[in-house]
Amino acid sequence: MKSEKKNIKELVKEKYGAIANQRIQMAPLSCCGSYGCCGGLEFSMIGDEYRNVEGYNPDADLGLGCGIPTQFAGITKGDHLLDLGSGAGNDCFVARAIVGDTGKVTGLDFSDAMVHRAVENAHKLGHSNIWFVKGDIEEMPFPDNTFDVIVSNCVLNLVPDKNKAFAEMMRVLKPSGHFCVSDVVLKGNLPEELKNDAEMYAGCVSGAIEISEYLNIIELQGFINITVHKLKEILIPDEIMGKYLSVTESIRFKESDTGIFSITVSGYKY
């Protein structure tokens, strides 16, 4: 099991490191972007919702999100915010516009290439109160009770041990601090053909778990006032579904209660 988790982490690191190292020719469209990081699974997750968001920087948007967690995070001026899986810094720069000069923003990512790219973007913008740190969400390199707010965008579903991830979030949050994350969850059981495909895992879908299990993990780690702000179905095009399922299996999948959703949820520490 430990070896399997390590392999998953290495796969994710390899795929997202490759994305970070590519030159962006056009704005990517999805959780997977335009880079084939998930074996051709390229479809829009949230469209152009970021376009009118203050602090949005197109250079830092690699199209890897499935929501806008900062929209519901209750961030205030002066907060110290942590972004888990910060990538090229997209949500960090949006958060920076909210916390202002008196706040602090820290981005955590375990891809060297992503951290490097985020640092470059911050340097171009001239921000002095944003830091990007390399580290593992399951073992965060931060002291207890450090942050007022934690956000994350389509990342926690890629973490093999989600219990440990939320436990670490609880540890590094200050008392009365809170998180708001956007992620991918399932309703019902995803067909094994999709679930077991490693490329799909790196593309955000196969790492997803059932929504009730996801919310239960949050509650088990001691978070209170858990609120689902947004739940949006992710419709997979027929040509993409056809790579993994037969026509009959695709029809059965669509007619069932099973589905893939982006969720934005928050919770508070005591």
- How large is the average pLDDT for residues 99-116? 95
The most confident of 4-18, 19-33, 209-223, 251-265, by mean pLDDT: 209-223
DSSP states along 64-132: --SS-GGGTS---TT-EEEEET-TTSHHHHHHHHHH-TTSEEEEEES-HHHHHHHHHHHHHHT-SSEEE
Domains of the chain: total: 1
- Is residue 61 within 8 A of residue 88, CB to CB? The reply is yes
**DSSP H or E stretch at residue 55:** none
Q: What is the mean pLDDT of the chain?
A: 83
Which tokens in the block code for residue 177?
Answer: 């601090």
Query: Residue 244: pLDDT band by 50, 70, 90 thresholds?
Result: confident
The residue ranking higher by pLDDT, 116 or 60, is: 116
Report the pLDDT value the prediction gives residue 41, as an integer from 0 to 100.
42
The pLDDT of residue 201 is above 60: no
The pLDDT of residue 12 is above 90: no
Q: What percent of the chain has pLDDT over 70?
A: 77
CATH number (domain holding residue 258): 3.40.50.150
- How large is the average pLDDT for residues 78-99? 96
The residue ranking higher by pLDDT, 166 or 17, is: 166
Query: Residue 71: pLDDT band by 50, 70, 90 thresholds?
Result: very high
Query: Residue 28: pLDDT band by 50, 70, 90 thresholds?
Result: very low
Query: Residue 38: pLDDT band by 50, 70, 90 thresholds?
Result: very low
Pairwise CA distance, residues 213 & 133, whole Å: 30
Place of tokens 């820290």: 106
Report the pLDDT value the prediction gives residue 132, as an integer from 0 to 100.
98
Query: Residue 11: pLDDT band by 50, 70, 90 thresholds?
Result: low
Report the pLDDT value the prediction gives residue 239, as an integer from 0 to 100.
77
Q: Which domain holds residue 246?
A: 2-268
Report the pLDDT value the prediction gives residue 192, as an integer from 0 to 100.
74
Report the pLDDT value the prediction gives residue 260, as an integer from 0 to 100.
85
Mean pLDDT lowest for which of 58-67, 195-204, 213-222, 256-265?
Answer: 195-204
Query: Residue 206: pLDDT band by 50, 70, 90 thresholds?
Result: low
Report the pLDDT value the prediction gives residue 207, as an integer from 0 to 100.
77
Pairwise CA distance, residues 257 & 267, whole Å: 27
